[in-house]
Structure 1
Amino acid sequence: MQLITATASPFARKVRVLLKETGQEGDVEEVMAATLPTAPDPTVTAANPLSKIPALIRPDGPALYDSRVITRFLDARCGGKLYPENQIWDVLTLEATADAMMDAAVLMTYELRLRPEGMRFEDWIEGQWGKIEGALDALNTRWMSHLSGPLDMGQIAVGCALGYLDFRHDARGWRKGRDALDDWFAVFCERESMKATKPA
């Protein structure tokens, strides 16, 4: 199998972390691609008609895309440990929260990096950050017991979302007033899978 990926993508990082945590990295070749909304990469478009990363090319079926589809597939392939049935709704909700944070943060990045300075919509940027702050507050107040439990895909997604905030929006200071989440992330980001996939 081939994973169409990019080191900066938090969505692709979720998949890469899962591969390492489940010992499947030897089964999947990583194919690096650079794609932008204004300049789609043909390699990405061939695997995903939406021209988004990640995409998983399988030898026995059509390519899979959307990180949550890919992670469910790869987790099922190795026994379903990261989506435990007894906590499935919590795991999926936590993963969806993290994915929404990533989506808002990536949209902010595009607005700041791709749109000419005089055309940037500052209120829209702040609106995206407001979504992220709401999610951060929820994680810090409602989800710490789950985050501190056995490893699952919700935790991996949150770790990748926070890592992306550090990578692209560090000046926003997401840690302020969120000590519990900050402490959790300080430990989580020391996992070998997180260190090996850290964007640079």
Structure 2
Amino acid sequence: MQLHWSPRSPFVRKVNIVIEECGLTDKVERVRSVAVFAAPPNPEILRDNPLGKIPVLLTDDGQKLFDSRVICEYLITRAGRDDLLPAPPDARIKHLRWQALGDGLTDILLLWRTERWRGAKADPVIEAAFETKTRAALATLDEESADLSASPFGLGHISVLCALGQLDFRYT
């Protein structure tokens, strides 16, 4: 398998953690691929992902998988690591919800950073909205911290960890 990746991407980081947890490190060749939000798409990435984003996983059977959620579910299934994304509905929904919260927070942080790069042209209403949404997501994580701690480690935790890592990396 081949993975289009970049070391600063929080979504690539999420996929890399799943690769490691699934014991697939030796089965994935990482291809350094530059993807910039506010620039023309990288043609090599665009060839494999019409959205022009990373991560992208090229499977051994020729599939081109994009979006970290799809890639992680594929890897977890391939490795038979049902513990990372449990089958029982209540546990599964809990992890999928935490994944949505972590990924959504990551999206907000990436968009907020892009808006901040605009300097004097940045829209204060948009910036305030991103800050409000970030604070709300963090408050939710705080409220659910006991449940997160008590639940077996899985995809939801990985997504939340990557979001918090992005916050620490770009905002401290």
Check whether TM > 0.5.
yes
1:95 alignment partner in structure 2: 99
- Equivalent-residue separation in structure 2 for 1:67 and 1:107 (angstroms): 17
| Partner-residue secondary structure (3-state), 2:74 | helix
Following TM superposition, by how much is the alpha carbon of 1:143 offset from its aligned partner in structure 2, in angstroms? 4.1
Q: Which residue of 1 aligns with 2:34?
A: 34
Q: Secondary structure at the match of 2:57?
A: strand
Structure 1: segments with no counterpart, 5+ residues: 171-200
Kindly indicate whether the alpha-carbon contact (under 8 Å) linking 1:147 and 1:155 is maintained by their aligned counterparts in 2.
no
- Equivalent AA in structure 2 for residue 128 of structure 1: F
- Greater displacement, 140-149 / 161-170: 140-149
Indicate the residue corresponding to 1:146 in structure 2: 148
Pairwise CA distance, 1:61: 3.0
Give the paired residue count: 168
Amino acid at match of 2:152: P
SS in structure 1 at match of 2:30: strand
| TM-score normalised by structure 1 residue count | 0.80
Map of 1:74 onto structure 2: 75
Q: TM-score, normalised by structure 2?
A: 0.92
- 2:75 corresponds to 1:65: no
Q: Which residue matches 2:13?
A: 13
The equivalent residue for 1:104 is 108
Cα distance in 2 between the residues matched to 1:145 and 1:61:
39
The residue number in structure 2 matching 1:54 is 55
1:122-157 C-alpha deviation (Å, 9 max, x unpaired): 220221121111111111112432334321000011
User: After TM superposition, which residue ranges in structure 1, 4 or more long, deviate above 3 angstroms?
Assistant: none
